[in-house]
Structure 1
Amino acid sequence: MRKFMLEQAPVYCLHIRKYKETSVILECFSKNFGRVDMLGKGLLRPKNKNDLPEYFQEYHLSGIGRSELGVLTGLDLIAGKAKLYGEAWLVACYCNELLLKFLPRHEPVDTLYIAYQSILHKLQSNKNYHLELLWYEKTLLECLGYGINFYFDAKTDDAIESERFYLFDVASGFRICSSQNEHAIPGFVIYALAENSWNDAYEKYFPAIKKVIRSALKYQLGDMQLKTVAVSNDLKQFV
């Protein structure tokens, strides 16, 4: 079995589930190790319940293991707690569930970790989060090998042209189309999406590019269902 050790590793706890009578399994997202699952022995005992980690807070985690499940030896909050409420909390739960569905164990994904931090900070600031959420979803697809080709026509293999218009096919990619098509997206908007260089002047195309990213996510999820979407009508407003 592969042995691993974490020493003061930055992590977020994505999910907590009970294990036996007094212990829990912490499903965590680590900057340098990807997903790590740790057994927190005795954390449900009355004297230890205050030691349970909270979601959406960053911790330093220490632990050791010889399989996919490690044993927690230390957990310390990195900074002051910032609470999320209402829609912001639901969006953050959606972000966590995507990670639980897609994230590989014990593989570094530091770019995705930074994107996750960024969307949490945006949600905590009570500012418009929609564009930041889109970058997070796009980064998740790219980091896990499901990135969209934003540079070449899927049918002709020609480079996408800034002044031409394209439709997105979830199974193959962007294909040139008539500018009269109601779902057409200009090449310069596709490039802006590719390079995370969004401009407010493109705002009318935001629903279309959001649909591109969401359809790509749903395609990769296949038959897997997101509980956060199923249980919340509010969440469906942005998913």
Structure 2
Amino acid sequence: MHRIELQPAFVVHARPYRDTSFLVDCFTPDHGRVCAVARGVRRGKNNQRSLLNPFIPLLISLQGKSSLKLLTGIETSGHRLDLVGTRLFSGLYLNELLLRVLSEWDSCPDLFRHYTEALGELACEVDVELVLRRFEKHLLQELGYGIDWRCDADTGQLLKPDAWYRLDTQSGFIPVGAAGLANTYSGACLMDIASDQYALPDTKRVAKHISRALLRPLLGEQPLKSRQLFL
């Protein structure tokens, strides 16, 4: 029987299971996304139920022979991050991304670190757009869908601030002759995004547009429910 002891984790999704239990999707550094049964937590005043919420740093223990494990232990390893308003919606968006695009049992310690940092930044006064776009870039890189934000895909030369480029989601940014074509972006704007500089509203708009284009093949046609919260 496979056992996992005291693995750092965050709950990204939980739903009722049978009469008294929950099915819980957790994000962990060593095992990626894992799904486990939290048995009996809906019965009476179970102390563990309050821990099966997002944004609480946890240590979890699991066991079982199949990919669906039994949650045998859960405890906090820090205080719940207090997210409200747009920052709460943004945290739920990050969780839905992980739930939709991460395969189970794929180790991703770097992405776990970036996720933890992103939640901490959302709980502070860091620009939400910066937090989301930076995490999306890390997520795409982890999944093998990252692109080079600093060089053009044709020649490998550094992007030029006065040049214009179109996005090829498979290879990166391709130089085009002039502005005005659909889905073209200025080199200056792309260079700002590469450096995580989002002071200009146009930079934020372009960064969101490109991130959605890159994530679309991974997400498919089903829309993200968390995006509707921003409307």
Give the shorter-chain TM-score range. 0.7 to 0.9
What's the Cα RMSD here? 2.3
Which amino acid counterpart does residue 39 of structure 1 have in structure 2? V
Q: Which runs of 5+ in 2 are unaligned?
A: none
Task: Kindly state the Cα deviation for residue 135 of structure 1 after the two structures are TM-superposed.
Answer: 0.7
Aligned pairs for 1:1-239 within 5 A = 4-52=2-50, 53-150=52-149, 153-154=152-153, 156-163=154-161, 164-170=163-169, 172-178=171-177, 180-181=179-180, 183-186=184-187, 190=190, 193-194=193-194, 197-199=195-197, 204-229=202-227, 231-232=228-229, 235-236=230-231
Task: Kindly state the Cα deviation for residue 191 of structure 1 after the two structures are TM-superposed.
Answer: 5.0
CA distance 1:90–1:6, change in 2 (3 Å)? same
TM-score, normalisation: structure 2: 0.87
1:115-150: CA deviation from partner (whole Å, max 9, x where unpaired): 211221111114322111101011111101211243
1:39-69: CA deviation from partner (whole Å, max 9, x where unpaired): 1111111131554422111100011121111
CA distance 1:136–1:111, change in 2 (3 Å)? same
Q: What SS does structure 2 have at the residue aligned with 1:121?
A: helix
Give the Cα separation in 1 of the matches to 2:128 and 2:138.
15
Which amino acid counterpart does residue 15 of structure 1 have in structure 2? H
Give the Cα separation in 2 of the matches to 1:200 and 1:151.
16
CA distance 1:208–1:17, change in 2 (3 Å)? same
TM-score, normalisation: structure 1: 0.84
1:183-228: CA deviation from partner (whole Å, max 9, x where unpaired): 4221x6545544xx33467764332233211211123322122112
How many residues align? The count is 227
1:145-199: CA deviation from partner (whole Å, max 9, x where unpaired): 2112435544x3443433433122335531102454474221x6545544xx334
Which amino acid counterpart does residue 159 of structure 1 have in structure 2? Q
Q: What SS does structure 2 have at the residue aligned with 1:47?
A: coil
Task: Kindly state the Cα deviation for residue 85 of structure 1 after the two structures are TM-superposed.
Answer: 1.4
CA distance 1:200–1:96, change in 2 (3 Å)? closer
Q: What SS does structure 2 have at the residue aligned with 1:35?
A: strand
Contact 2:92 2:226 in 1 (8 A): yes
Contact 1:11 1:59 in 2 (8 A): yes
Task: Kindly state the Cα deviation for residue 83 of structure 1 after the two structures are TM-superposed.
Answer: 2.1
Which amino acid counterpart does residue 115 of structure 2 have in structure 1? Y
Identity of counterpart residues, as a percentage?
29
